[in-house]
Amino acid sequence: MGGWRWFERRLQILFGRDGAEREMDEEIRYHIERETQLNLAAGMSPAEARRRALVDFGGVERHKEQVRDVRGARILDDLVQDARVALRGFLKEPSFTLAVLLTLGLGIGGNIAMFAILQTSFFQALPYPGSERLVLGRVTWNGQVGETVSGPDYFDYRERATSLEELGAFTPFVLRSTLTGEGEPDRVAAILASPGYFAALGVDPVLGRTFTPDEGERDGPAVVVISHGLWERRFGGDPAVLGRAATINGTPYTIVGVMPAGFRLAVDTDVWLPMQRGGPWAQARQFHNFVLVGRLAEGVTVTRAQEDVDRISASLAESYPDTNRNKGLALTPLHDALVERYETTLLTLMAAVAVLLLIACGNVAGLLLARGSARRSELAVRSVIGAGRARLARQLITENAVLAVGAAGVGLALATWIQRGILAFVSLERLGPVEPRLSLAAVGFALSLSAFSVMVFGVLPAVRVARSDPASELRGGARTAGSRVGTRVRSALVVAQVALTAVLLAASGLLLRSFDELRSVELGFDPSDLLTASVQIGAMKYPDPASRTDFFRVLAERLRAAPGVEAAAFVTHVPVRNPGGNVRVDLPERFGTSGVFGQLADQRSVLPGYFATMGIPLMAGRDVAYTDAPDDPRVIVLGASLAAAIFAGDDPVGRTVGVDAGEEEPVVLEVVGVVGDVVTGHPANGARYAMYVPYTQRAGTSMGLVVRARGDMASASATVRQALREMDPDVPLAEVGTLDGEVDRVLSSNKAIAVVLTLFATTALLLAAVGLYGVLAYQVARRQHEIGIRMALGAGLRSVVASVVWGGLRLVAVGLILGIPLALWASRLVQEMLFSVGATDPVTYAGVAAFLAAVATVACLIPGYRAARVDPVEAFRRE
């Protein structure tokens, strides 16, 4: 028989059961017919003839079975039969089955969920053609990677870099802007982008074009590219949108293009405004507002491109020592750069779910072992009546396979939910929306995880059964050496579970403590009952400082007079919500003398009453005033620590400072007051140097409103809305919220990881407690006899309980002794996510040990009291 025909036959045997079976049926039927005929011819009655023929054949089914056996189909049959038996068995023990499926399913589900998130974020290509050639360019200071690059530096890099096919620039923050003209005013997010930004990413607009090179030059035409979302939302997807005017912050722009849906890089925006050489945000080398995105030339590696830009950085440092000394540009593969911020979080969570699965496996192993022990006599009986050992082991393995498939199914079902939950907490906004989804790889991952976990622990009892001697098994009942080994294995599992739980608890404890520290950072103002919003007035309608000041002054006065409002004021950057906006400041005479100079301080323009409204203490001098006229000598209020840094303890009031404005000469201002320090950005960054200039002397169109309200925030915001509508219906109110809410928002990612990890740790703790409980309850059940004797001999209730509890706590102690060093080692992973709490924080570790011990004690007490209820007479009678 040729190889192919042999193969074909095997296939037929495996899959073509029906055909082969029919063939066999026919042949045997024919045989029996012929025999019957012979018998008839020999003079038997028809019934007798047939009976005789069947008897001679010797049992049709038995022979068919033999034929099947010969043909290897037996294994399949056994498999189906075993699976059926297994299913029936599991259905008969619903609590066991449910416990295994849920425990394992949860562990597997968490792993699939994280696996899919990791897969999407780390391994999925970015949605730009040839994205592997894209790099992100960020500034470096003394080799440390920062974020933004200055506009003039960008143009130099773009013009001189030969290793880059294209280099673009964009602002990594959005400018909240007002879009007017045709219909209601609309708040939109805008970013500045250079013509090279679109060219480097290689994404074409769905309509029109992107920026031409001359639109990126100084005073280039005012054009704008809009997002697909804005196009549909505001322009109804009208193809005739090209060439139409869109007034942004009072300036008319012409719409030249519409980008495809979902097009974004790092930030979501509604419109792209051209970044212009020497234009807004790009005036000077010391103003760093752009992140660069480049496309490597064909065949150029990142390393070579980096060498290329390093040469340019060196020559810039030589040409512009004041601004470019120690400054460089770091090129990072775009995907790596976008992911790096989430790497720690995602890897921590992945490690946590993996540990959780291990702990879940521990419980499942315990359950399987217990079930295995309970079934030993059943298996022994079966082996005595003739089931082969291989056959028994095969059945156990089949049972576990059924469990594995079931658990994988439960895991898959739970995975999407878990994933949704994780993504709801942990946002990956730089990568864009990560859809909860499961890939084929994730399903494969689930099945292999499940199979692995169940097989490792399911085969253990199988091996023991194969080794066991049925006779001693039947004689000794449950009290045999084998089950003592089982207890030891289960004890070891509990120790491992406790150790792993300690690791998770420690990590979550550290993050919770860190979050608590963040929450209690001294903000420098009172965030409760503070309503904030942003207000943008039209530059055309309010062309000069006087009219702008009037608008905000009147609005503030009307608000203060409104019921439920205690105080109201305006500031360009609401603390915590709007970070950034820093410039250099120092004594005027130090300018130009020593290259890099002064302090970087956050500069804000405020209306009078701002400090009082916020609850920022005035420590010296006075607040800004409406009498600080535009043409008067310019004045400034300094934050306390900035004042101390510049004036080194001297009284600053009445002295002058110079502020860098990107020009030859600094702007000189007189210090009129000193106020308390405040946290201007993320609380983790602490209080920063800050300075305040009067709005009257620096009047922009976009301001943040702060209102100290009494009672209900909703009615306060209605009051504000009403007042604004009365002032000017064209001015939209945006970003309405409370400062408390704002603090929560900026801390949300810190909170998210702490919360998610705490959920994991709590689940782990519960599982470990259940595991501990299970072992002890089992031990108590087995030791009833012994406990009965001890009680009969006069052992008190307390000593019985204590012996059980101590037995359990010994396991916990061993688990902690192993777990705490493991946790210390593993805490390196979360270290960089911690704020003001050390990774080896002794309080946390002591707390973890105490908490674990407390929960474990409860888990031990239940079986302990059960032991105490043992009735000696009853225990003896059972023997």
Question: Given the rule CB under 8 A, which residues bind other proteins?
Answer: 1, 6, 9, 23-24, 26-28, 30-31, 34-35, 56-60, 62-63, 66-67, 69-71
Q: How far is the CB of 62 from other proteins (least distance, A)?
A: 7
3-state class of 257 per DSSP? strand
For residue 844, how many other CB atoms are within 10 A of its CB?
24
Q: How far is the CB of 76 from other proteins (least distance, A)?
A: 16
CA 260 – CA 204 distance, rounded (Å): 8
CA 568 – CA 730 distance, rounded (Å): 21
Q: How far is the CB of 9 from other proteins (least distance, A)?
A: 7
Q: How far is the CB of 421 from other proteins (least distance, A)?
A: 55
**Which of 54, 189 has the CB closer to other proteins?**
54
- Asked if 563 and 582 count as a contact pair (C-beta separation under 8 A), the reply is no
In this structure, are strands 690-694 and 599-606 parallel, antiparallel, or unpaired? parallel
3-state class of 728 per DSSP? coil
Q: How far is the CB of 59 from other proteins (least distance, A)?
A: 7
Q: How far is the CB of 69 from other proteins (least distance, A)?
A: 8
**Which of 30, 123 has the CB closer to other proteins?**
30
In this structure, are strands 186-193 and 245-248 parallel, antiparallel, or unpaired? unpaired
CA 138 – CA 149 distance, rounded (Å): 6
- How many helices (H) and strands (E) would you count in the chain? 28, 24
Q: How far is the CB of 391 from other proteins (least distance, A)?
A: 20
**Which of 27, 522 has the CB closer to other proteins?**
27
Q: Please list, in sequence order, all residues whose beta carbon lies within 8 angstroms of the beta carbon of residue 54, skipping any fewer than 6 positions away.
A: 32, 60
Q: How far is the CB of 80 from other proteins (least distance, A)?
A: 21
Smallest Cα–Cα separation from 816: which of 504, 512, 501?
501
| 748-782 vs 797-826: helix crossing angle, rounded to 10 | 140
Helices (H), 562-697: 610-614, 640-647
CA 354 – CA 346 distance, rounded (Å): 12
**Which of 30, 452 has the CB closer to other proteins?**
30
**Which of 8, 132 has the CB closer to other proteins?**
8
Q: Which two tokens stand for residue 104?
A: 């394992």
- Asked if 396 and 79 count as a contact pair (C-beta separation under 8 A), the reply is no
**Which of 58, 386 has the CB closer to other proteins?**
58
Q: How far is the CB of 48 from other proteins (least distance, A)?
A: 17
**Which of 56, 322 has the CB closer to other proteins?**
56
Q: How far is the CB of 28 from other proteins (least distance, A)?
A: 7
- Give residue 625's identity as a one-letter amino acid code: A
Q: What is the DSSP string of 816-874?
A: HHHHHHHHHHHTHHHHTT-SSS-TT-HHHHHHHHHHHHHHHHHHHHHHHHHHHT--HHH
**Which of 32, 644 has the CB closer to other proteins?**
32
- Give residue 191's identity as a one-letter amino acid code: I
Q: How far is the CB of 348 from other proteins (least distance, A)?
A: 57
- Asked if 576 and 711 count as a contact pair (C-beta separation under 8 A), the reply is no
- The radius of gyration computed from the CA coordinates of the chain, to the nearest angstrom, equals 38
**Which of 40, 358 has the CB closer to other proteins?**
40
Q: Please list, in sequence order, all residues whose beta carbon lies within 8 angstroms of the beta carbon of residue 428, skipping any fewer than 6 positions away.
A: 121, 342, 434
Length of the chain, please? 879
**Which of 14, 554 has the CB closer to other proteins?**
14
**Which of 62, 420 has the CB closer to other proteins?**
62
In this structure, are strands 245-248 and 223-226 parallel, antiparallel, or unpaired? unpaired
CA 210 – CA 259 distance, rounded (Å): 8
Q: Which phi and psi angles does 759 have, rounded to 5°? A: -60, -45
**Which of 29, 420 has the CB closer to other proteins?**
29
**Which of 55, 854 has the CB closer to other proteins?**
55
Only one residue has tokens 């042949």, namely 27
